[in-house]
Amino acid sequence: MAKRKISPERREQRKKLLEMSQDVGINDVAGVQDLFKEMVSTVLENGLEAELDEELGYSKYDYRNKQTDNSRNGYSEKTMKTSFGDMDISVPRDRKGDFDPQLIKKQH
C-alpha cells in the first residue's frame, strides 16, 4: 500500500495544530476529547444566542433598538449526553418564556 501524499498546506496545518495542542497542555486522547467537547458546546451556545437574537429582534448589546417588551433573562444549564461523554451548555432564556430553541429542544 502506497503512503498517501499530504499537501504542504495540510502539513503546515498539522504542524500548527500540534503546536497549539502542546501550548494548551493536550497530550492524550482524553485531552483531545475535552477540547472537542468545549468547541462543540461553544458553537452550540453561539447558535442558541443567535436564535434568541432572531426571536427578540435585537442583539445582546443592542437593547436600545429593541421593538419588544420581552428581553433576555439569564441562562439555564443543560447537560447533553454525547458519544464523548456529558457536555454542559448554557441555554439563554427570555423573560416571557416564549423562546423555544430549535438547535437544542427543551424538555417539556
- Return per-residue pLDDT of the chain as tens, 108 residues: 667 888 999 999 999 988 988 888 888 888 888 888 999 999 999 999 999 999 998 888 887 878 888 989 999 999 999 888 899 999 999 999 999 999 987 665
pLDDT at 2: 65
| Cα–Cα distance for residue pair 47/28, rounded to 1 Å | 29
Q: For the chain, give every domain's residue range.
A: 28-94
pLDDT at 44: 95
Q: How far is CA 42 from the centre of its chain?
A: 2
pLDDT at 42: 95
pLDDT at 87: 92
In one-letter notation, the amino acid at residue 41 is: S
By the 8 A CB rule, do 101 and 91 touch?
Answer: yes
By the 8 A CB rule, do 60 and 53 touch?
Answer: yes
| Cα–Cα distance for residue pair 11/65, rounded to 1 Å | 47
The pTM (predicted TM-score) of the whole model is 0.78
